[in-house]
Amino acid sequence: MKNAILASTSTLHGQTYLEYLLPEIQELFKERELLFIPYARPGGISHTDYTDLVKKSLENTGIAVKGLHEYEDPAQAVQESKGIFTGGGNTFLLVEKLYRNNIMGLLRQVILQGTPYLGTSAGTNIAGLTMQTTNDMPIIYPPSFQTLGVVPFNINPHYLDPVLNSTHKGETRETRIREFHTLNTQPVIGLREGSWLELKGGNITLRGNLTARIFKVNETPFEAEPSSNLNDLK
Amino acid sequence: MKNAILASTSTLHGQTYLEYLLPEIQELFKERELLFIPYARPGGISHTDYTDLVKKSLENTGIAVKGLHEYEDPAQAVQESKGIFTGGGNTFLLVEKLYRNNIMGLLRQVILQGTPYLGTSAGTNIAGLTMQTTNDMPIIYPPSFQTLGVVPFNINPHYLDPVLNSTHKGETRETRIREFHTLNTQPVIGLREGSWLELKGGNITLRGNLTARIFKVNETPFEAEPSSNLNDLK
């Protein structure tokens, strides 16, 4: 019985880190303990600094935070944790380090068994079948692009609509996802900042106030409404 | 003696494909023959359609264009070509296909030996040491991120300055390159649309009317002026 929040972003414009997700976090981590996976290192910050940011952001919640890098045996830490949060940053780095520490499969297993899981950005991207709809630069070569697959589709966090009248010739997000679908068949959900997927038991629900953009191979993309059930997306 | 044009983009806003580069192309391909590498398939278009676009764009130049996919032996075609153009699209797909057809090393060799080479976007990105500063989605898993290395640094095509007052929380291009530099030491040149690198003999010169942004590990990024010599960038 899955119990997870997969958020597009950790932070909304004008807010502090995790601020808009605090009610969800309070509800999700009932055991008041959280293992933080800091591997994605946004902007290259250290594991310790990244973990301190999470500790500080959650200090009024009563949730105790410990970084995965603080454990000698990361696999055991994942296995025994009462709740897990994977933060954003660079998805290639995150995936490489999860494989290198032999915890990709284990992380999948504990999430499927019901360990509460929060992902933001890269931490959400890896919940999909593969990391291949990430927006990040390939700063390190991971042993595989396969990820947790706790949802039966791919996720594009920080989804951005095409900028009207843009003069820039780089590809839009939609064009990139269309290119993905020339070689891959799983659906992709473009999650805008402020949206998250709630996985509860067998249900996948779109949360937040915004619609999400759904891309299926050989179909015209469409918008999913807030609160809609996405169980059939596969 | 290298003889190459490495352009940020194939197309400028309001212009047709390759329009702004036509004088350079006329000068570069003196033998009036060009082997086109269509592997990057922008937006997923076919090799044939992509090659037809190039043929049409160059029809008034007297340069004969043939697509690499039209040859039974791509390695031999690269070896014997009088000039090569690699178009943009998805860099992961381009690199995967170059490796799969065993022509990555050969392409490097003929460029170093002086076969005229034009790259745009992904075709420029692969001229660097690695493809790790691409903007593209990892839609396919290539056997390596190493690329041609005909310049001793990495290239970020379609370089974009941070948008002032943006409310979007996805990483800026500069942040992504900073993350690259937490794990890699080679310099990166951010080439804005309308800029290109001219490789002639031993010289590397920035061409076009714009400055380019140079990123070196542990240094503050700076701007290189148009027409400046980049021989010392390594």
Is A89 an interface residue toward B (CB < 8 Å)? yes
Domain annotation covers residue A108: yes
Query: Cβ contacts (< 8 Å) between B145 and chain A: which residues?
Result: 138, 141
pLDDT at A118: 98
pLDDT at B165: 78
pLDDT at B120: 98
Q: What is the CATH number of the domain that holds A198?
A: 3.40.50.880
| Helix or strand (DSSP H, E) at A84 | strand A84-86
Query: Cβ contacts (< 8 Å) between B171 and chain A: which residues?
Result: 42-43, 135-136
Exposure b/e, A38-72, CB count within 10 A at least 16 = b? bbbbbebbebeebbbbbbebbeeeebebbbbbeee
Tally of domains within chain B: 1
Nearest by CB to residue B132, choosing from A138, A171, A175, is: A138
Q: How many CA atoms lie within 13 A of A147 on its CB side?
A: 27
pLDDT at A169: 81
Mark which residues 36-65 of A lie under 8 Å from B by CB.
Answer: 41-44
- Do B170 and A184 count as a contact with CB atoms less than 8 A apart? no
- pLDDT per residue over A100-119, tens digit each? 999 999 999 999 999 999 99
Output phi, psi for B177, to 5 deg: -70, -35
pLDDT at B169: 81
Give the CA distances from residue A141 to residues B65, B156, B205, in Å, rounded to whole numbers and listed in that order. 35, 18, 30
Give the CA distances from residue B167 to residues A10, A181, B216, in Å, rounded to whole numbers and listed in that order. 13, 29, 28
Is A47 a catalytic site residue?
A: no
Which positions of B are catalytic?
A: 121, 136, 158
Q: How confident is the model at residue A31 (pLDDT cuts 50, 70, 90)?
A: very high
Domain annotation covers residue A232: no
Considering only CA atoms, which of B57, B55, B92 is closest in space to residue B70?
A: B55
Is A213 an interface residue toward B (CB < 8 Å)? no
DSSP state of A130: B
Query: Cβ contacts (< 8 Å) between A183 and chain B: which residues?
Result: 93, 139-140
Residue B130: beta bridge partners?
A: B146
Give me the domain span that covers residue A154.
Answer: 2-224
**Mean pLDDT, contiguous 10-residue spans, chain B (234 residues):** 96 95 97 97 94 97 97 97 97 98 98 98 98 97 98 97 82 91 97 97 96 97 97 96
Q: Is A104 exposed, middle or buried (0-12, 13-18, 19+ CB in 10 A)?
A: buried
Is A185 an interface residue toward B (CB < 8 Å)? no
- pLDDT per residue over A9-22, tens digit each? 999 999 999 999 99
Output phi, psi for A47, to 5 deg: -55, -40
Domain annotation covers residue B232: no
- Do B184 and A90 count as a contact with CB atoms less than 8 A apart? no
- Do B44 and A178 count as a contact with CB atoms less than 8 A apart? yes
Distance CA A129, CA B82 (A): 44
Q: How confident is the model at residue A72 (pLDDT cuts 50, 70, 90)?
A: very high
- pLDDT per residue over B24-52, tens digit each? 999 999 999 999 999 999 989 999 999 99
pLDDT at A156: 97
Mutate which of A16, A91, A96, A139 to test chain B, going by most B C-beta atoms within 10 A?
Answer: A139
- Do A13 and B167 count as a contact with CB atoms less than 8 A apart? yes
Give the CA distances from residue B196 to residues A186, B48, B207, in Å, rounded to whole numbers and listed in that order. 37, 26, 5
Nearest by CB to residue B11, choosing from A131, A138, A169, is: A169
Residue B146: beta bridge partners?
A: B130
Domain annotation covers residue B120: yes
Domain annotation covers residue B231: no
Domain annotation covers residue B233: no
pLDDT at A167: 84
Residue A43 confidence (pLDDT) above 90: no
Residues A182-194, mean pLDDT to the nearest whole number: 97
Nearest by CB to residue B179, choosing from A43, A131, A177, is: A43
pLDDT at B10: 96
pLDDT at B164: 75
Considering only A138-147, A155-164, B3-12, B44-53, which range has the smallest mean pLDDT? A155-164
Question: How many other C-beta atoms are found inside a 10 Å radius of the C-beta of residue B109?
Answer: 14
Exposure b/e, B132-153, CB count within 10 A at least 16 = b? bbbbbbbbbebeebbbbbbbeb
Is B161 an interface residue toward A (CB < 8 Å)? no
The number of angstroms, rounded, from the C-alpha of B18 to the middle of its chain's C-alpha atoms is: 13
The 3-state DSSP class for residue B106 equals helix
Nearest by CB to residue A138, choosing from B12, B145, B168, is: B145
Question: Quick one: closest CA in A to B182, which residue?
Answer: A44
Query: Do residues A123 and A95 touch, judged by C-beta distance below 8 A?
Result: no
Question: How many other C-beta atoms are found inside a 10 Å radius of the C-beta of residue B23?
Answer: 8
Instruction: Kindly report the average pLDDT of chain A as a whole number.
Output: 96
pLDDT at A164: 75
- Do B44 and A134 count as a contact with CB atoms less than 8 A apart? no
**Which tokens is A16 given?**
């502090």
- Nearest Cα of chain A lies from the Cα of B179 at a distance, in angstroms, of 5
Domain annotation covers residue A234: no
Distance CA B30, CA B83 (A): 9
Nearest by CB to residue A184, choosing from B139, B175, B182, is: B139
Question: Quick one: closest CA in B to A16, which residue?
Answer: B169
Domain annotation covers residue B37: yes
Distance CA A150, CA A104 (A): 12
Q: Is B84 exposed, middle or buried (0-12, 13-18, 19+ CB in 10 A)?
A: buried
DSSP state of A70: G
pLDDT at B163: 81
pLDDT at A234: 95
Predicted ipTM? 0.92
B19 contacts: CB under 8 Å, gap ≥ 6: B11, B12, B57
* First CA to last CA distance, chain A: 18
Mark which residues 133-152 of B lie under 8 Å from A by CB.
Answer: 133-141, 144-145
